Structure 1
Amino acid sequence: MELTVLGGCGAWPTAVQACSGYLVEYAGFRLLLDPGYATLPRLLAHHTADAVDAVLISHGHPDHCADLNPLLRARGLSDTPPPALPVYAPHGAADAVLALDRPGMLADAYHLREFRPGDRFDIGPFRTDTWLLPHFVPNAGIRLTTPDAVLAYTGDTGPSPDILRLAEGADLLLSEATYIHEVPTADAPYLLTARLAGQYASRAGAARLMLTHLWPGTDPAAAQETAAQAFRNPIDIATPGLVTDLAHARG
């Protein structure tokens, strides 16, 4: 299983960093995980729009799903449209982005497959387990399993014991870390810190940790150093173009 980071910036994209977006590949199948703001250009630097086999969305905030619209336009409005793209999302999470165009304009470009966080299903070669994790809107923590690797992804979440189940023994925990040390009081139930991400990765026995969804302007080195106070294994920051082979994450 190979993970390519398209973006990892929280809230809005910057001049050098797109929002959450990750391409997960295994056995020739390409799964686009969370096509947030500005991720489509990053994707197109690697593959054509019709090379994506499915999309999986953790929740409905636009920094995690807004670029589904241009992806569907690139596919549905091409001279030779590819087959409808399976789009997996929690119930209602994709409604706003799918409503950006006139009704029916992109109807043949996608097949919406809604789920409830807590469901288990298959997407191509990936066994997909989900958990309802605390956020401002319903958010699915996602665990992708293949015969040789496990990727655990928090989406956006606050503290929860389910993160330990999500990440147990994972080859890579891709964890939101909006803040470094402390989340403002009003948002504390719904977001994590780099410190907490490191603690969860350590307690879950993950082989590797990747911090993502850092607030724009956050010092990535400071976030990495803080997570390392609790987690002694390798820690990366989600930056565009970073490629991780999960099958060798424990090497």
Structure 2
Amino acid sequence: MRLTVLGGCGAWPEAGQACSGYLVEHDGFRLLVDLGYAAFPRLLQHVAAGQVDAVFISHGHPDHCADLNPLLRARTLRDDPPPPLPVYAPPGALDAVLALDRPGMLDAAYVLHEFSVGSTFDLGPFRAETRLLPHWVPNAGVRLTAGGRVLTYTGDSGPSPDVVELARDADLLLAEATHVDRVPEDSVGYLSSARQVGRQAAEAGVRRLVLTHLWPGTDPAAARAAAGDGYRGEIGVADPDLTLEIS
């Protein structure tokens, strides 16, 4: 299993970067996990639009799904469009982004699979176990298993025992860590700090931790240091084009 980071900015993309977007590959299957602002052009540096096999969207905030629109445009507005793209998302999460174009324009470009958060299903070679994690809108954390390896992704989530259970003994935890240390009062319970994420990674016994969704302007070294107060394993930050072999 291989993870390539397309972007890891929270809220909006910094110059030259992108919001949440991750390419996960196994046995030639290419799965996009989230596709926020500016993630699509970064995707094209790695694969063509028609080479994507499926998309998984954790929740409906635009910094996680806005660039689904240009991906679908790039697949359908061509002389030789590829087959419809399977897109998996919680119910209603993609209503806004799928309504950006005139009615029917993108209908042939995708097949929408709305899943109940908490369900488990096959997604190409991956077994996808989802769990509802705390955020302002329904957010599906996901545990992807393939070839005996496990990648857990939180989407956006406040601290929760469900994060720990979803990430239990994972080879890699890709975790939202919007803030370094203190989560603002109006976001407590809905977003996490790097320090909180480090503690949860340690409790879950994950083998590697990658921090993502950092607030623009955050010092990555400070985020790693805060996470390292509770977690003694390898800690990375989701920089664009970071590629990790999960083996």
Normalised to the residue count of structure 1, the TM-score between the two structures is: 0.98
Distance in 2 separating the partners of 1:126 and 1:142: 11
Distance in 1 separating the partners of 2:111 and 2:132: 23
Cα displacement string for residues 213-251 of structure 1 (whole angstroms, at most 9, x for unaligned residues): 00000000000011011111100000111000011xxxx
Aligned to 2:202: 202
Distance in 2 separating the partners of 1:183 and 1:172: 24
Aligned to 1:19: 19
Distance in 2 separating the partners of 1:122 and 1:77: 29
- The answer as to whether partners of 2:20 and 2:35 remain within 8 angstroms in 1 is yes
Aligned to 2:160: 160
Aligned to 1:238: 238
CA positional deviation for 1:180:
0.5
**Aligned pairs (5 A) from 1:38-57:** 38-57=38-57
2:164 aligns to what SS in structure 1?
Answer: helix
- The answer as to whether partners of 2:159 and 2:197 remain within 8 angstroms in 1 is no
CA positional deviation for 1:78:
1.2
CA positional deviation for 1:64:
0.2
Aligned to 2:114: 114
Distance in 1 separating the partners of 2:143 and 2:110: 23
CA positional deviation for 1:147:
2.3
Unaligned runs of 5+ in 1: none
Aligned to 2:62: 62
Deviates more, 1:8-17 or 1:49-58: 8-17
CA positional deviation for 1:117:
1.0
CA positional deviation for 1:186:
1.3
CA root-mean-square deviation: 0.5
Distance in 2 separating the partners of 1:124 and 1:240: 25
Unaligned runs of 5+ in 2: none
- The answer as to whether partners of 2:173 and 2:210 remain within 8 angstroms in 1 is yes
Aligned pair count? Answer: 247
Sequence identity percentage: 66
Runs of 4+ in structure 1 deviating by more than 6 angstroms, as ranges, are none
Cα displacement string for residues 8-59 of structure 1 (whole angstroms, at most 9, x for unaligned residues): 0000011122000000000000000001000001000011000100000000
